[in-house]
Structure 1
Amino acid sequence: MLKVASYNMRKAIGTDRRRSPERVLQVLREIDADVVALQEADRRFGQRAAVLTPHLLEEHSDWQSVGLGMRAGSMGWHGNAILVRKSARVLDCEQLHLPALEPRGAVMADVAVGDVAVRVVGMHLDLSGLWRRRQAATILSHVAASARPLPTVMMGDLNEWTRAAGCLRDFGAAFHFADTGPSFHARRPIARLDRIMVSRELRVAACGVHQSPAARVASDHLPIWATLTGQ
């Protein structure tokens, strides 16, 4: 059993307009996932510094950040980051450059949690449907071209409002979607912008949207989660 989660943490700015990294960590502790894909994990301007600082993670969490930062002080790549248990082993990681009008990227890590090795892809796709499809094609091509295939989990904020068109149809040709439910807006979730997708080697045993009182305030997105097993 492997528990994964995806969370657009909105740079830790809550629906009350307060920035509180500690509140984000509280939500992550409530979910207690083995692997977490984060979006908007770094500040937008200046040094693009990580919102969840190394000190906060070390002293107040059970996770380590995969070393994806391209800037000193950043956690991720274009705001995308991956957290894994401190007991997990990071076998490999890389950044994926995505076609876009504004800077966009995805991140990928091969992670061993206990005896289970999985490939994790985190992403935050464009607001434009045309660019989302181009970005999906880039991600799918990169994963398919890997010389070392692994069971794969892809997670993130896809920014796709339609049910079965656009990039969802593209991803759905090779991946199964966890039926997590609406995660946006946190105060009144009506849209399934956040998604978890798994390759054919994996089965979704359980999944959902985390709707605790803290989660409803910590970001404008609710986190989603899924428990995975082998087929």
Structure 2
Amino acid sequence: MTRRLRVASWNIRKAFGLDWRRDPARVLRVLELVGPDVALLQEADKRLPPRPPALPPAMMRAAGWDWVDADPDTPSIGHHGNAVLMRQGIAAFEVIALDLPGLEPRGAALVRLEGGLVVGALHLGLRRIDRLRQLRRVVGTVRRMGGPVLLGGDLNEWGRLPLPRGWQEVAPGPSFHAQRPTLRLDRFLAGPGVGVSGSGVLARSHALRASDHLPIWVDLEL
């Protein structure tokens, strides 16, 4: 039996919108419009230690979300701001909080979901030399994990990133800056055997000025 899974990716800018109001409830309303089963978020925690979450846990639970505790020693919901949210009822069986090389602190949160799909939230660096090293680290790690893979995040890349044979890049459309989207900084990277049946960017008029990025989504056939 074929099952559809919708995965979203979104840099929520610590829940600060274009009006510079921090409004986590607005972020959750926008996610509801996208309708994902899994959400890969960037900048989901405040930057300074102890890195409290930008989305209050009680508010996420009330909205129907669970999340992966990638850094259990902190109140964070992610790792270096990268968080994986799942609709309640979707289970996670393996979690890797991955530190990435580069000039500035970066990381990725990798999670194996029920059924074997590995998803990863990542936010690559501002320098291309760092992005290439970071991507190699992430791809090497998910290959060792095994199974089908979908990575998503703010890749900070204007051009194309080199991918291993059999991988595909899914760039649904311009998502930055949310005020006037022109750059495809937010993308998905799908490993071999992952069937993509559709993708898109939430329209600016629906994004409620909730972040400087627009959320993107992809539909998978599993």
Q: TM-score, normalised by structure 1?
A: 0.90
Match of 1:205 among 197, 203, 212: 197
Which residues of 2 match residues 9-88 of structure 1 at below 5 A?
A: 9-59=12-62, 61-88=63-90
Tell me the amino acid that sits aligned with residue 189 of structure 1: P
Q: After the TM superposition, which parts of structure 1 deviate over 6 Å for at least 4 consecutive aligned residues?
A: none
Which digits, 9 at most, give the CA deviation of each residue in 1:132-182, with x for residues without a partner? Answer: 001011111111222xx21110100000012x3xxx12x364421224011
Check conservation: 1:156, 1:194, Cα contact below 8 A: yes
Percent sequence identity over matched residues? 41
Provide structure 2 residue ranges, at least 5 long, that are not aligned to the other structure.
none
Correspondence for 1:221: 213
CA distance in 2, matches of 1:20, 1:128: 30
- Residue identity in the other structure for 2:125: D
State how far apart, in whole Å, the 2-side matches of 1:208 and 1:47 are: 34
Equivalent pair of 1:91/1:110 in contact (CA under 8 Å)? yes
Partner SS, residue 207 of structure 1: strand
Shift of 1:183: 0.5
> Could you say which residue in structure 2 is the equivalent of 1:152?
149
State the partner residue of 2:91: 89
- Separation in 2, partners of 1:182, 1:71: 36
How many angstroms apart in 2 are the aligned matches of 1:219 and 1:141?
Answer: 31
The CA deviation at 1:94 is 1.2
Gaps of 5+ in 1: none
The SS at the match of 1:117 is: coil
Q: Match of 2:126?
A: 127
- Which secondary structure state, in structure 1, belongs to the residue aligned with residue 20 of structure 2? coil
Cα distance, 1:100 vs. partner?
1.4
Distance 1:175 1:32 in 2: 25
Q: How many residues align?
A: 219
2:101 partner letter: P
Amino acid at match of 1:106: A
**Does the 8 Å contact 2:11/2:41 carry over to 1?**
yes
8 Å CA contact retained: 1:70, 1:76: no
In the alignment, the residues of structure 1 paired with residue 169 and residue 21 of structure 2 have an alpha-carbon distance, to the nearest angstrom, of: 33
Deviation at 1:15, TM superposition (A): 0.6
Do the aligned residues in 2 keep the contact of 1:216 with 1:222 (CA within 8 Å)? no
1:69 to partner: Cα distance: 2.5
Q: Distance in 1 between matches of 2:96 and 2:171?
A: 28
Partner of 2:188: helix, strand, or coil?
strand
State the shift of 1:206 in Å.
0.7
The 5 Å alignment of 1:94-173 reads: 94-112=96-114, 116-146=115-145, 149-162=146-159, 164=160, 168-169=161-162, 171=163, 173=165
- The answer on 1:188 being equivalent to 2:188 is no
Alpha-carbon separation, structure 2, partners of 1:152 and 1:160: 20
Tell whether the 8 Å contact from 2:30 to 2:208 is kept in structure 1 after alignment. no
Give the match's secondary structure for 1:24. helix
SS of equivalent to 1:218: coil
Q: Please, what is the CA RMSD of the aligned residues?
A: 1.4
Letter of the 1:76 counterpart: G
Residue 157 of structure 1 aligns with an amino acid whose one-letter code is D
Question: Helix, strand or coil: the match of 2:209?
Answer: helix
